[in-house]
């Protein structure tokens, strides 16, 4: 007895490979990197800086203005960043330099006003290094200079909640009311900011050293928080960033870590 379906046309198998042995259908775009991640991996700029440049229309791909989240074909697409063509190839050897920034230095690689920058604290290998965890000119303490964009993203993006520890000298002695206000959260223009911890370290000549732990990183955040509760910051020192401690530098202004040391530090914490 003949098969009832024998006269019906069979639908082609969409999963069947074509004559070249490759699956048919559109290419999988997910295998192409997003432009901000790609530039960070090459050590051109950090992911965040790349996104800022895209918003400012300073990055082009094949002559067209780049878009946030755009995927690119590495080695094929022509990418121009702030007027300079990107040279593709192997990512640079990662560099990680811990820096103890003194007061009076700006946390940028160059300054239009001619002020001293954190790069002046690093004796060598300054090409394509950018700062992780900026501090304002009047603040001191731990910073990191690197050309590793993925590392920068891990250290700075809020989703990773990397904690930073600050020692803050304020004028006078804070009241319990003020400390409770600070611990509950302070309203700034961006919204409420709540520290992870606030501790009194010691009193010094009528003033007070506080330890403030945060995982957020907004501009001059601690100074604005303290001003909001009625206290002036006399001195501000960042002593920890995630697994990195200012004590690691000893008396040195900067030290270089290897990729293996950085990986080991993160594994321990």
**Is 111 labeled as catalytic in the residue annotation?**
no
Q: How far is CA 10 from CA 1, 3, 4, 7, 14, in A?
A: 20, 13, 13, 9, 12
Task: Say which of 3, 82, 111, 136 is annotated catalytic.
Answer: 136
Catalytic amino acids? 136
């Amino acid at each position: 007895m003949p098969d009832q379906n024998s006269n019906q046309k069979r639908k082609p198998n969409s999963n069947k490979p074509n004559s070249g042995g490759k699956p048919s259908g559109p290419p999988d775009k997910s295998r192409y990197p997003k432009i901000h991640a790609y530039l960070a991996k090459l050590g051109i700029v950090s992911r965040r800086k790349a996104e800022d440049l895209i918003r400012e229309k300073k990055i082009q791909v094949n002559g067209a203005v780049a878009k946030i989240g755009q995927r690119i074909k590495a080695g094929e697409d022509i990418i121009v960043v702030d007027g300079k063509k990107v040279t593709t190839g192997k990512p640079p050897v990662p560099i990680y330099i811990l820096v103890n920034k003194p007061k009076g230095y700006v946390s940028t690689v160059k300054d239009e006003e001619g002020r001293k920058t954190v790069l002046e604290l690093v004796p060598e290998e300054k090409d394509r290094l950018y700062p992780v965890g900026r501090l304002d000119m009047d603040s001191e303490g731990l910073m990191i200079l690197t050309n590793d964009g993925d590392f920068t993203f891990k250290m700075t993006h809020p989703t990773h909640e990397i904690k930073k520890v600050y020692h803050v000298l304020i004028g006078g002695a804070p009241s319990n009311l003020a400390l409770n206000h600070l611990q509950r959260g302070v309203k700034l223009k961006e919204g409420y900011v709540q520290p992870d911890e606030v501790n009194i370290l010691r009193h010094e000549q009528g003033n007070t050293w506080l330890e403030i732990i945060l995982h957020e990183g907004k501009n001059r955040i601690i100074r604005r928080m303290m001003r909001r509760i009625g206290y002036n910051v006399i001195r501000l020192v960042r002593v920890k960033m995630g697994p990195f401690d200012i004590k690691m530098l000893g008396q040195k202004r900067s030290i270089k870590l290897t990729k293996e040391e950085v990986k080991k530090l993160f594994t321990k914490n």
